[in-house]
Structure 1
Amino acid sequence: MTLDFAGRVAIVTGAGGGLGRQHALALAARGARVLVNDLGGAVDGSGSTASAAQAVVDEIRAAGGEALANNASVSDFDAVLAMVQQAIDAWGRVDILVNNAGILRDKSFAKMDMADFRLVVDVHLMGAAYCCRAVWPHMQAQNYGRIVMTTSSTGLYGNFGQANYGAAKLAQVGLMQTLAIEGAKYGIHVNALAPTAATRMTEGLMPEEVLAALKPEAVVPAMLVLAHESAPTRTILCAGAGSFEAAHITLTQGVYLGTGPDVPERLAAQLAQVTDRSGDMVPQSGAAQGKHEVERAMAAHRGS
């Protein structure tokens, strides 16, 4: 099956360079009309210019595709609403949203300014939430939508010096989990992509041969799968250097200890069993944890 996007309208944020640019070019090459959003700022989010987004639009048009430029900051909800309206006015619909925009303000937590923490959360998390909220009613009305969050291995597993970035990136997974549930009856699929790619945000952090392997182009196939009409929903795909994996937030079987004054000590003694991943599961919603716990309690009560 060829992953075709003919007739689809896509918005890609942070698409003026790096991974976002590759996403926009790939979607356009496969037939999508693409609104290319980029604030045109520095890696730390400072500054703004429309030239970055326009350059990608020019590339798409030169190759025979359709594209529009937009330099809204995703952290400005009014500007995001206007961006989505720009796509609606031009093409009548929005089928795909790729939340790719982001900034870095890296420092160890002990040295981190809380203003920098908030700014990174505002761009990554609130930016994704604003964009999702702006496209949501349109996707509901057309009973179709594909949203791709950009999470990170830092959010999933941690990375020194990136507490702000990691918190914001894992928060996007939490947003994905609920939006996928709420969007199901409207045909809206919501997924997350955890890319490993060399962009200007990673320059100077890795050896040249590693950077060469981590071309942003190698991540794009995962985005295309998550943005296509055949996409799954509530899936976290990891991609880098030509390899693809899936990440899961799982729940162990755990142990039932009941209530009582000695439960803290018994829990401490059996913690290895509680964290044992044998037979762990991927809950289909947050309610599954409570259901599992109540069932264990009811079974223990019946057995007493």
Structure 2
Amino acid sequence: MSISFNDRVAIVTGAGAGLGRSHALALAKRGVKVVVNDLGGSVDGKGASSDAALKVVEEIKAAGGEAIANGASVTDPDAVGAMVEEAMSAFGQVDILVNNAGVLRDKSFSKMTLDDFRFVLDVHLMGSVICTKAVWDHMREREYGRVVMTSSSSGLYGNFGQSNYGAAKMGLVGLMNVLHIEGAKKGVHVNTLAPTAATRMTEGLIPENILALMTPESVTAALLYLACDEAPSRLILAAGAGGYAATRITETDGISLETDHQLPEEILAQMDKILDETGEQLLEDGSGQTMKFVQKAMAREGAS
């Protein structure tokens, strides 16, 4: 079965290098017209240059594709708005948004400044919010859209020295969950990519022989799936070194306590039952948890 893009238009943020560059090149190779967005700063977000984005555009055009470069900071709503207008002027529409731009300012939480914490959240989380907001109504009006967030195992599971990065990356999962619900009736699918790859951000952390397997292209295969016409919605797809897996947030069936037993000592005593995975659920929205507990309470009260 062939993956289809049907002359779609994509904006890829942070596309001047690493994963973003790989995403932009692969989309263009499949006929997607691409806005290559990159501020051109360092890994920690300092400086700016349009050189990287322009080079990727040149690569795309040399291969027969269509692309334009854009140097907007994803943290600047006005610049992002202008980027979307530029995309509309050049290509007439925006079908795909890949929220890939990111920075690192790693330190243990005790040594991290609040400014560094806030800056990483601003780029990863608020940058994705700002870019998605800029295309959201357009996609809803056209009743078609593919939005891909970029999370990380640091957010899903934790990683020492990355409290700011981890908080931002898990925040994107919450954003996806809500936008999936709000976009469903209008054909806007929202998913999350959780990549691991050899990029500027992983240099010095992984042995060389393993790094050779962790290509950005192996992750991009997952991105192409999440951005295509046949894409699902509300999927966290992990990818790296040719491996692909789904991350799911489930909730155990749990227990229901009578009013006079709703005590921390009772929770402690029954923690094995609370942690029992038998009957755990993948809830569709926040009300699912409420209804589960209400139904348990009603059953408990009816039986007493």
Tell me the TM-score normalized by structure 2. Answer: 0.99
Counterpart of 1:190, as a letter, is V
Is 1:7 the equivalent of 2:7?
Answer: yes
Which residue number in structure 2 is paired with residue 213 of structure 1? 213
For residues 239-260 of structure 1, give each alpha carbon's deviation from its aligned partner in whole angstroms, at most 9, with x where no partner exists: 0000100000111000011323
Is 1:162 the equivalent of 2:162?
Answer: yes
Alignment of 1:141-152 (within 5 A): 141-152=141-152
Alignment of 1:227-242 (within 5 A): 227-242=227-242
Alignment of 1:101-120 (within 5 A): 101-120=101-120
Which residue number in structure 1 is paired with residue 275 of structure 2? 275
Q: Is the 8 A contact 2:251 2:281 kept in 1?
A: yes
Q: Is the 8 A contact 1:3 1:30 kept in 2?
A: no
Counterpart of 1:210, as a letter, is I
Counterpart of 2:65, as a letter, is G
Tell me the TM-score normalized by structure 1. Answer: 0.99
CA distance in 1: counterparts of 2:210 and 2:160, whole angstroms = 19
CA distance in 1: counterparts of 2:66 and 2:21, whole angstroms = 15
CA distance in 2: counterparts of 1:279 and 1:240, whole angstroms = 30
- In structure 2, list runs of 5 or more residues that go unmatched: none
Deviation of 1:4 (Å):
2.6
For residues 117-148 of structure 1, give each alpha carbon's deviation from its aligned partner in whole angstroms, at most 9, with x where no partner exists: 00000000000000110000110110000000
CA distance in 1: counterparts of 2:203 and 2:79, whole angstroms = 30
Identity %: 60
Which residue number in structure 1 is paired with residue 193 of structure 2? 193
CA distance in 2: counterparts of 1:259 and 1:159, whole angstroms = 39
Counterpart of 1:5, as a letter, is F
- In structure 1, list runs of 5 or more residues that go unmatched: none
Deviation of 1:91 (Å):
1.0
Q: Is the 8 A contact 1:4 1:31 kept in 2?
A: no
Deviation of 1:163 (Å):
0.4
Counterpart of 1:120, as a letter, is V
CA distance in 2: counterparts of 1:210 and 1:104, whole angstroms = 22
User: What SS does structure 2 have at the residue aligned with 1:75?
Assistant: coil
In the alignment of these two chains, the number of paired residues is 304
Counterpart of 1:60, as a letter, is I
Deviation of 1:262 (Å):
5.5
Coordinate RMSD, CA, aligned: 0.8
For residues 205-237 of structure 1, give each alpha carbon's deviation from its aligned partner in whole angstroms, at most 9, with x where no partner exists: 111111111111110111011000100000000
Which residue number in structure 1 is paired with residue 257 of structure 2? 257
User: What SS does structure 2 have at the residue aligned with 1:54?
Assistant: helix
Which residue number in structure 2 is paired with residue 48 of structure 1? 48
Which residue number in structure 1 is paired with residue 137 of structure 2? 137
Which residue number in structure 2 is paired with residue 284 of structure 1? 284
